[in-house]
Structure 1
Amino acid sequence: MTGAPEPFNAGEPALTGASGGTTTLVEGSTFCLSDGTGDIEPGTAHGLFFRDARVLSRWQLRLDGRAPHPLSVAHPEAFAARFVLRRPPGAGQADSTLLLVRERLVGDGMREVVTVENLGREATAVRLDLHVDADFADLFAVKEGRAVPGGADVTAAGRELLLRDRGDGARGLSVSATGDVTAVPGALSWQVVVPAGKRWSTEVAVQPTLAGRPVEPRFHRGERMEHTEPARKIMAWRAASTAVTATDPVLTAVLRRTESDLGALQIHDPTRGGRPFVAAGAPWFMTLFGRDSLLTAWMALPLDVGLALGTLQTLAETQGTRTDPLTEEEPGRVLHELRLGPDSTAVLGGNHYFGTADATPLFVMLLAECWRWGADPEVVRALLPAADAALTWVQRYGDRDGDGFVEYRRATDRGLANQGWKDSFDGVNDASGRLAVPPIALCEVQAYAYGALLARAELAEGFDDPAGAARLRARADELRRRFAEAFWLPDRGWYAVALDGRKQPVDALTSNSAHCLWTGIATDEHAGALIRRLADADMETGYGLRTLAASMGAYNPMSYHNGSVWPHDTAIAVAGLLRYAHLPGAVDLAHRLAEGLLDAAAAFGGRLPELFCGFSRDDFSPPVPYPTSCSPQAWASAAPLLLVRAFLGLDPHVPRRRLAVSPHLPGRWGEVSLTDLRLGEAVVRVRASGERAEVEGLPDGWTT
C-alpha cells in the first residue's frame, strides 16, 4: 500500500467513523463506506466513491424523523449488503412492530431498495426522509481529513435530485426513486400508510456523471441482485476459476471469501480492451498499484492466469518512458499507483506515480511465472520488451551508485520517503529505532532483483536465447554472492533490513528477511540461521509473523509497519520457508504461521484484513484489529491461496509439460483439492493430504 508522502499523508487509512462498525462495499472502481445502519454520516470518511472522488458525502435515512435501530448487517457478496433495522419503540414500549430493510449494491453507481414491513395488527403511517449531499472531494482529501463540506450545487427536478460539483462542474450525480416521492434540495421524502401484515418498498438509484455525461450503472431498475452485472461478473469469475476446497471448514470458508473478494476487486478497464487487473484494496486503494497488484496476481495464479496477464499488460502500457522528478517516472520503471481523482496532480504530481523500488523487478518475476503456468507464449513474447526495459531500469536507474544493489531516494519532497512495501515514513529503522538515511537498499528488493534475473534467464532460454540466459544467470549469481557479503549479519543471524546511504547495514530484525527465502537468494547456511530467528517469540505472535521483532527499538504492536502482522507478508514467509523445507524447523514454523493466520481469519469473519496488531496470542486472543485496516484488501485476500500453493509444493511448468507437487500440508487441513486447474490446454485435478498427492487429467507426455 502507499505509505506517507510529505507534505501529504497518503499512507495509512483514515478512521472511517467515530464509533467504528463501518460497512464496506466494493465493486471495481466503486466503493461505499457507511455505518451499521447503512447511513453515510457527514463529517466522517464515509461516502460513495467513484473513480477516486466522493460522489455521496451524506446518505441518511430517517423514519418519522428518527434514526432506525440496527438489528443486523449481511453481506451476500462484496458489492452488496442488507441492513435490517426497526422503528424505535414508542415511549414505554420494549418492542417495535415496524421492520425496515435496506438492500444495497454498488457498481458504477449505487442502488438501494428500502422496504418497510408492518408486523403489527393495524395499519401504520410512516414518513421516510432520505437526506442526500455530495462534496465531490478527492479520495486523498477525504482520507486525510481535508475534505470541506458544501461542494455541491443541489437542485430538485420532479422526483429526482441533481447534484453538481461546484468546483469545476465536471462531476455530478443524479438520485431518483420509485413510488410517490417528493424531492426537495437535499432530500427525498415519502409519506405512506402500510396496512397490517403488508410491505411497502421503493428503489433509489444513484448515477454519477462525468464531463456532463451519465455513467452507465452496472445494474437496472427492478433487476434481482443475482442478475446484475456485478453478480454476473462474480459468477463468471467463479466459473472460470479453479475450485479450491479443503476438509477443514475454516480454510474452505476463507478460500470462498478470497474468491469473492478477488472477483469484486477486479477492474475491467474499457479503455484498455476490458482486460482485468486487481485493485489494491478498499476503501482507499481501489486502483492499480504496481507492487500490490503484481503480488496479488502472483498469489492468484492457481485460480486464473488471465488476471496476472491483464495486470502485466496494463502495467506495461503505463511503464515509464521519460524522466520526471514530480512523478518519479524513469524509463522502464513500473508504476506505483494510478489515480483519477481531482487532486491527483497535487498529491502525486500526476495521475501516474512511479515512486516504488520493487514493482519493476516483480513485473519480470510475474511474467516468467505466467509463462510457467501456461500463458499464451505469444502474449508472453509481446511483453518481453517491457521486461527488458524493467531490467534496464534495475541496472541503470535503480542502482543509483553502481554497486550492484537497487536503492531508492525520492526525487522531491512530494514523493514517498520509503519506496518498499513498508512505505510509511518510519518503516525502515535500525535495531535501536533510528530511521535509515537514504539512499536505502532494501534486502527484499535485492531478493526480487535476483528473482527477476533468474526469471528473465528462464524466459530467454524458453524463447531461444541461450547466450542471453547465461549472461542473466551470471548476473544473478554475482548478486547473490554480493548480497550475502553485504547484508548478512553473522553476529545476529539475520539479514540487515537495508543498507543506508553510507552503505552501513540497518540491523533491525524484520519480516523483510523472509522475502529473501521466498526468491531463493538466501544460502542454505543463512536460511537455517534465519529460520531459527523467525521462530523466536519476538517474531512469531501465534497469529502470524511480526513486521518488526519485539526486541527492536521501534517495536510497537499497534504500529502500521513496526510490529503489526500483515497476512500477505506472513504468507510470503511461509512460501519462503517451504522453499527451504529440507532445513530443520522450516516446515514446523510454516505450519504454525499458517495455522495462526487461519485462526486470525476465522476471528475476522473469514476475511483477512490488510493488517492487525502484533500482540502475542498469549496476551490477546482473538487478535486485536488495527483500527484503519483496509478490508477487503487484495494481497490479504489472496494470501490463503499462496499458503495452499506453497504447502502443496505446486510448481507447474507448462512449456516443459511438467507438474511438480510435493505437499507438506498441515494435519488439520485434511484433504485439499484443486478442481479444474487450468495449465495451458490441460485441465487437471490435484488432491493432497499430509505429504501425499494425486494428480488426475494430465495429458500424455506430461511428467509429475
Structure 2
Amino acid sequence: MDEIIQVRDQYYIQASSCLADDRTRVLKQGETFAVHDCRGDIQPVGRGEQGLYHQGTRFLSRLEFFVNRQRPLILSSTVNNRNELLAVDLTNPDLVLGDRQVPRGSLHLFRSKFLWNRCCFERLRLVNFAPDAVEIELCFRYAADFHDIFEVRGMRRRKHGRMESPKTGPDRVTLPYLGLDGCRRRALLQFAPRPDRLSAEEASFRLRLAPHEERSIYLTVVCLVDEEDFDLPAFDRGFDASLKRLEGYRGKNCGIETSKQHFDEWLNRSLDDLNMLLTETPQGIYPYAGVPWYSTAFGRDGLITALQTLWLNPDIARGVLAFLAANQADSHHPKQDAEPGKILHETRQGEMAALDEIPFGRYYGSVDSTPLFVLLAGAWLRRTGDLDFVRQIWPQVKKAVDWIDRYGDIDGDGLIEYHRQSADGLVQQGWKDSWDSVFHADGRLAEGPIALCEVQGYVYAARLAAAEMAEQLGEREMSDIQRNRAERLRELFLRAFWNDELGCYALALDGEKRPCLIPSSNAGQSLFTGIAAPEHAERLAERLLQPDFFSGWGIRTIAEGVARYNPMSYHNGSVWPHDNALIALGLARYGKTRQALKIFSALYDLAMQVDLQRLPELFCGFRRLPGQGPVLYPLACSPQAWAAGAVFMLLQACLGLDIDARRRTVCFRHPVLPDFLDQVTLRDLRLAGGRISLRLTRYHDDVGINILERSGKIGVTVIK
C-alpha cells in the first residue's frame, strides 16, 4: 500500500491508526500552531499529527502530564469562544500514597494553554478538595523530533539533520536540532517554579497541598529558529496581547445577531476560527488554509475565503490580494509550475521546502488561483469602491489576465487547461487536486491537458471583472477586449460542456476534447460565476438536489453510483462545506434562493452535530439517516478557513445580499430566511465611509427589512 501511495500521489496524507477518543484541540497564532489531545497532552499516537509546530516544523512531539505516574481523569475539555485558550479540567484517579488512599475526585487540576509570539504558554492550577493534606508528584514528559510537516503527513526522507545534546538548567531545558538546511531549531521549555527534578526528558514536582490549598505551575515552550536569546514574556502579559489581537480582528467585522442561539454559536465559532487562522504578513492579514496540514498561505483557499467574507469584512480580501500580488510569478520555472503572471498555489517553510525535497517553497501549480485573483479584485472594487488600491495592484491584475491569454489556453482553443510541468508537482491542479479526481464515465482517468468545468466559469467572471476595472481606470480598449473574450468563452463553454442526458455540465474535457461525463459539484459552481445559461440553471437546480447528489447533509462532489464514487474519498463522493456555499450563492444568483435554503439548512444541521459547532474541511458523503449524525472524514482539517467562511456565504445567498459601493446601495434579491431563523440583525455594515444596521424578519414566506441605524448616504433596495 505504501508503494501505491508513493507512486500515485506522494502528497497523500497517511493514516496508520485511530485513537479511541480522537478529539483534538487546536490552537494557532501567526506561524505557530498546536494540536493537543482532549487532555491537553501531545502524544505520538493515532494519526500522529499532535505536536507544537512553528514555520512548518514540529518542535514538540510529546508532552504528557502525570499525577503520581498515572494519567489524570478528564472532566471537560474545550477551546474557549474566542479560540485563544484551551481549557481542560482534570482530576486524580484513585491513588495509593504510602499507607493511605486518595479517592478519585479529590484534586482539581485545571490546564489552560494559549499561543503567542512563537510560544506555547501553559498554567496548571491545582486545588486540593480532600479533607486532609495530600502529598503528590506531578510530572511532565516531553520530546522533540523536529519533523517537517510533510514527514508528519507520511512522506519519507532519505536523510535527516542532527539532534544535538540537550542543555538543562535549574528551570529550563533546551532541545536543539541542526537541520540539513543549516538552520538550528530549538525547543526551549521553561518551568516556574523550579522543578524538583529536571532532565532532558522529564520534569517533576513534589507538592504538599493542605485542604483547599491552591498552587500553580507554569510551563512555557518557545520555538527558536537560529536565535540565541529570547525575551520570554509572562503568562498574563502574553495572554493579554493575544486577546487584544483577536478583539482587533473582531472589531473589523459586521456584527451578526439572530433569533437562534445555536445558529449564533455556529456563526461565532466560524468567525473565531477565521480570526485564529488570520496571519499577519508584510502585505496585510491572510487566512491560512487550515490546521494541521495546511497552516500556510494557499492562493485558492485564501481567495475563496476572502470572497466568502467580503460583505462581512473587506479587510481580509485586501490582505489576500496584496499578498498574492507581491508573490506573483515573474518568470518561467517548470519545477515550481511557475509562469509569468501566475498566482501562487501555496508557500511552505521548513527544512524540506528549503532543500527542495518538496516543490512547495513557492509553488504555482493551480489553474484557478489566477482567474480567482482577478475575480476577487473586481469584487473588492464593487464592494468597497476603493479604486486607489485597485490601481496599486493593477499591474499584477493585468499580468494575471495576460497569463490567462498566453499560458492558460495551452492549445489555443479558447478554453483554459492545465498540464503540470514539474515531475514532483500536483497532477490535478483544480480545487479537487487528488490524483484520481478527473475521470471518464467508465472510470478511466482523463489525460491532459485538462479543461475543468468550474475553471471556465472563473475565467469568464475574471474577464468581466477585468473589463469593469479597466473601464473605471480609463482603459476602454482593454475593457472591450475582455468583455468580448468573456462572451466568446461563454458560448464555447455552453457548447462544449453541457450534456442534456446528464442534466448538467461535464466535469471536464480531456486532452482530446472528450467530455468527462460525470455529474459533479463542479457543474454547480458554474452558477456561482454566472457562466451557466438560464435554461441550464433550471435543470442544474433540480439535478443537484436529487438524492444521488444531495446526501441530506449537503451536495456531494460527485453523484452517488457513478464510476469511482466513494463516500469516504477525499474528492470523489465526499461533501465539502465551501463547495456547497459557492453552489448556494450561485443558485441565489439565478433566483433559486429556496433551493439555496435547502443547502443552508443541511449545513446548519451538520454544525449542530459536530464538535465545537466547527464545520470540518469535508465529511463523508453517506446518506443522512433518521436519528444518525454525519460520518466524519478522519483526516479533515479542523478548523479550515473556507469551511469556516461557508456560513457567511450561505447567509449572503439566502438574503440575496449584494453591496455596490459606487451606487452606495445594499440590495436584497429575493430574500428568504430558513425555518430556524425568525430574525437576523446586521450591525455596522461598512459601506463608502458610512455604516448601516438592518434587521430582517421572516413573515411566513416573506422577509421584512427595517433600517435600525444609518450614517452616510446608503440606500437599501429589496427585489422580491
TM-score by length of 1: 0.94
Does residue 199 (structure 1) correspond to residue 214 (structure 2)? The answer is yes
C-alpha distance in 1 between matches for 2:242 and 2:6: 34
- Amino acid of the residue matched to residue 99 of structure 1? H
Query: Quick one: which of 157, 162, 168 aligns to 1:156?
Result: 168
Q: CA deviation at 1:174?
A: 1.0
Does residue 684 (structure 1) correspond to residue 686 (structure 2)? The answer is no
Higher normalized contact order (CA 8 Å, seq sep 6+, divided by chain length): 1
- Amino acid of the residue matched to residue 607 of structure 2? A
Q: CA deviation at 1:486?
A: 0.5
Question: Aligned to 2:204, what secondary structure does the other structure show?
Answer: strand
Structure 2: stretches of 5+ with no match in the other structure? none
Q: CA deviation at 1:698?
A: 5.9
C-alpha distance in 2 between matches for 1:262 and 1:357: 25
Q: CA deviation at 1:8?
A: 6.1
- 8 Å Cα contact 1:16-1:46 kept in structure 2: no
Which runs of structure 2 are paired with 1:152-191 in the superposition (5 Å)? Answer: 153-167=165-179, 168-181=182-195, 182-191=197-206
Which runs of structure 2 are paired with 1:328-347 in the superposition (5 Å)? Answer: 328-344=337-353, 345-347=355-357
Query: Quick one: which of 78, 87, 94 aligns to 1:74?
Result: 78
Query: Quick one: which of 265, 270, 274 aligns to 1:258?
Result: 270
Q: CA deviation at 1:561?
A: 0.7
Equivalent in the alignment of 1:446: 456
Equivalent in the alignment of 2:105: 96
Structure 1: stretches of 5+ with no match in the other structure? none
Does residue 674 (structure 1) correspond to residue 682 (structure 2)? The answer is yes
- 8 Å Cα contact 2:8-2:435 kept in structure 1: no
Equivalent in the alignment of 2:37: 35
Question: Aligned to 1:421, what secondary structure does the other structure show?
Answer: coil
**1:129-175 deviation digits (Å, cap 9, x = unpaired):** 21121111111111116488984532212211011114345211211
Per mean C-alpha deviation after superposition, the further-off stretch among 619-628 and 393-402 is: 619-628
C-alpha distance in 1 between matches for 2:685 and 2:14: 36
Query: Quick one: which of 597, 600, 603 aligns to 1:594?
Result: 600
Equivalent in the alignment of 1:56: 60
C-alpha distance in 2 between matches for 1:482 and 1:698: 46
Q: CA deviation at 1:303?
A: 2.4
Mark the CA change 1:443 to 1:320 in structure 2 (over 3 Å): closer, same or farther.
same
Equivalent in the alignment of 2:614: 607
Query: Quick one: which of 296, 300, 304 aligns to 1:291?
Result: 300
Equivalent in the alignment of 1:617: 624
Does residue 300 (structure 1) correspond to residue 309 (structure 2)? The answer is yes
**1:93-119 deviation digits (Å, cap 9, x = unpaired):** 863312222111123220011122111
- 8 Å Cα contact 1:134-1:150 kept in structure 2: no
Mark the CA change 1:446 to 1:495 in structure 2 (over 3 Å): closer, same or farther.
same
Equivalent in the alignment of 2:89: 84
- 8 Å Cα contact 2:690-2:713 kept in structure 1: no
Per mean C-alpha deviation after superposition, the further-off stretch among 354-363 and 463-472 is: 463-472
Q: CA deviation at 1:84?
A: 1.3
Which runs of structure 2 are paired with 1:5-404 in the superposition (5 Å)? Answer: 9-12=10-13, 14=15, 18-19=19-20, 20-42=22-44, 44-76=48-80, 77-90=82-95, 95-107=104-116, 108-144=118-154, 146=156, 151=163, 153-167=165-179, 168-181=182-195, 182-214=197-229, 220-223=233-236, 227-269=239-281, 272=282, 275-344=284-353, 345-349=355-359, 351-374=361-384, 376-404=386-414
C-alpha distance in 1 between matches for 2:629 and 2:147: 37
Question: Aligned to 1:348, what secondary structure does the other structure show?
Answer: coil
- Amino acid of the residue matched to residue 297 of structure 1? A
Question: Aligned to 2:351, what secondary structure does the other structure show?
Answer: coil
Percent pairwise identity: 35
C-alpha distance in 2 between matches for 1:692 and 1:211: 60
Q: CA deviation at 1:510?
A: 0.7
**1:233-291 deviation digits (Å, cap 9, x = unpaired):** 1111112211012112222111111111111100002xx15x11110011111111000
- 8 Å Cα contact 2:25-2:79 kept in structure 1: no
Q: CA deviation at 1:379?
A: 1.1
Question: Aligned to 2:645, what secondary structure does the other structure show?
Answer: helix
Q: CA deviation at 1:431?
A: 2.6
Q: CA deviation at 1:413?
A: 2.3
Per mean C-alpha deviation after superposition, the further-off stretch among 137-146 and 116-125 is: 137-146
Does residue 660 (structure 1) correspond to residue 667 (structure 2)? The answer is yes
Mark the CA change 1:178 to 1:515 in structure 2 (over 3 Å): closer, same or farther.
same
Which runs of structure 2 are paired with 1:551-562 in the superposition (5 Å)? Answer: 551-562=561-572
**1:312-365 deviation digits (Å, cap 9, x = unpaired):** 100001000011111111100000001011111434325101100001000011
- Amino acid of the residue matched to residue 234 of structure 2? R
Question: Aligned to 1:628, what secondary structure does the other structure show?
Answer: coil
- 8 Å Cα contact 1:319-1:332 kept in structure 2: yes
**1:64-113 deviation digits (Å, cap 9, x = unpaired):** 11111222102113232111111111369863312222111123220011
Q: CA deviation at 1:658?
A: 2.7
Q: CA deviation at 1:666?
A: 1.9
Mark the CA change 1:563 to 1:331 in structure 2 (over 3 Å): closer, same or farther.
same
- Amino acid of the residue matched to residue 88 of structure 1? P
C-alpha distance in 2 between matches for 1:155 and 1:83: 30
- 8 Å Cα contact 1:326-1:348 kept in structure 2: no
C-alpha distance in 2 between matches for 1:24 and 1:152: 29
Q: CA deviation at 1:33?
A: 1.1
Question: Aligned to 1:661, what secondary structure does the other structure show?
Answer: strand
C-alpha distance in 2 between matches for 1:151 and 1:522: 57
Q: CA deviation at 1:9?
A: 3.2
Per mean C-alpha deviation after superposition, the further-off stretch among 22-31 and 52-61 is: 22-31
C-alpha distance in 2 between matches for 1:214 and 1:505: 60
- 8 Å Cα contact 1:116-1:201 kept in structure 2: yes
- Amino acid of the residue matched to residue 623 of structure 1? P
- 8 Å Cα contact 1:207-1:214 kept in structure 2: no
Q: CA deviation at 1:35?
A: 1.5
Mark the CA change 1:143 to 1:112 in structure 2 (over 3 Å): closer, same or farther.
same
C-alpha distance in 2 between matches for 1:698 and 1:484: 45
Mark the CA change 1:506 to 1:384 in structure 2 (over 3 Å): closer, same or farther.
same
Question: Aligned to 2:404, what secondary structure does the other structure show?
Answer: helix
Question: Aligned to 1:346, what secondary structure does the other structure show?
Answer: coil
Query: Quick one: which of 473, 477, 482 aligns to 1:467?
Result: 477
**1:50-69 deviation digits (Å, cap 9, x = unpaired):** 11100101111121111112
C-alpha distance in 2 between matches for 1:42 and 1:151: 18
- 8 Å Cα contact 1:136-1:152 kept in structure 2: no
- 8 Å Cα contact 2:121-2:235 kept in structure 1: no
Q: CA deviation at 1:229?
A: 2.1
- 8 Å Cα contact 2:43-2:62 kept in structure 1: yes
Query: Quick one: which of 496, 509, 512 aligns to 1:486?
Result: 496
Does residue 645 (structure 1) correspond to residue 652 (structure 2)? The answer is yes
C-alpha distance in 2 between matches for 1:699 and 1:574: 32
Mark the CA change 1:78 to 1:560 in structure 2 (over 3 Å): closer, same or farther.
same
Per mean C-alpha deviation after superposition, the further-off stretch among 693-702 and 23-32 is: 693-702
Question: Aligned to 1:33, what secondary structure does the other structure show?
Answer: strand
